[in-house]
Amino acid sequence: MGAAQSSADEFVREPLGVQERITADGSSPWPVEAGRYRLVAARACPWANRIVITRRLLGLEPVLSMGIAGPLHDERSWRFHNDPGNVDPVLGIEYLRTAYEKAVPGYDKGVTVPAMVEVASGKVVTNAYRELEFDLSTQWTALHRAGAPDLWPVEHRDEIAAISDEVFHDVNNGVYKCGFAKGQRSYEKAYDALFARLDALSSRLSTQRYLVGDTITQADIRLWVTLVRFDAAYHGHFKCNRQKLTELPVLWAYARDLFQTPGFGDTIDFAQIKQHYYGVHTEINPTGIVPEGPDVSGWLTEHGRESLGGRPFGRGTPPGPPPAGEQVPPLT
């Protein structure tokens, strides 16, 4: 996501700065339109990863281009340091902050990913990731690929929202509460809540393949982006070390199942994830040394979750391979 702040001993996430909507129903000044916007993401960031996966599953690549900020940044914000000349080839900017300042002169809030940028003006339209992932599923339907899954089935929306809220507070944000705690008591409170929630999720997933219903929903995407980063970053770097993910049999199998599902593992670059967490959070890792491990080859091993049934894409179909220029390195 990006910038964060702490209050007293507890970690508090900064409010989002440009909370607009992109809609097809006329409810906002920003209409859904093919080619009008560019999604700026980062391979390292779990919040951005949620939107990248959603875009992949819905097949929006031809109508919504994507820029990838590099894993390293400084106080000036996310930077396109992996692109030729350190500049996004479509937006022509080096730092994402430029797009925020075009939208809001004197912008003084967090410069975060994901961000939707209007290509013609170079202005950030929104960085409201929760609304964006819902709107991509429900407002962009005319531009979905044939066979796109329903990630927000109407009959399960209340349940998806409830589980997602628990996952956000205790897991997605919970690992950050552990990592950026400024006091022992705050750390232990977040640690206990994190692993209590993981235990509850493990129990739930022991008898069903996905979190809600028998298909992949947005709830699975929200949980998975934290699980896939757990051993590479949160276990050691954020002191979330009761167990590794690989030592939690149900969640490890669930995470592998999704990793091997088109649209999930093909968005993950473990090298960039580690470069970001260990290279940017200097208050936690002042040496900037990036660990060599863990071994990630296990992500491709059999998971056995098919025995629980379920239809990954419901009545839909898997997405095709990632477009040229969006592939991630294969696991080694």
The residues assigned a catalytic role are 45, 176
Closest CA to 58 of 138, 130, 116, 119: 138
Six-digit token pair at 80?
């396109």
End-to-end alpha carbon distance in the chain:
27
Alpha helices in 234-312 (DSSP H): 235-237, 249-259, 270-280
d(CA 30, CA 39): 14
Contact 133, 152 (CB under 8 A): no
Cβ-proximal residues to 100 (8 Å cutoff; 6+ apart), any chain: 17, 18, 77, 107, 111, 115, 124
Encode burial over 215-231: b for 16+ CB neighbours within 10 A, e otherwise.
bbbbbbbbbbbbbbbbb
Rg of the Cα trace of the chain?
A: 19
Unique residue bearing structure tokens 């080096």: 94
User: How many degrees, rounded to 5, is the angle at CA 34 between CA 28 and CA 35?
Assistant: 105
**Is residue 236 within 8 Å of 290, Cβ to Cβ?**
no
User: How crowded is residue 300: how many other Cβ atoms within 10 Å of its Cβ?
Assistant: 13
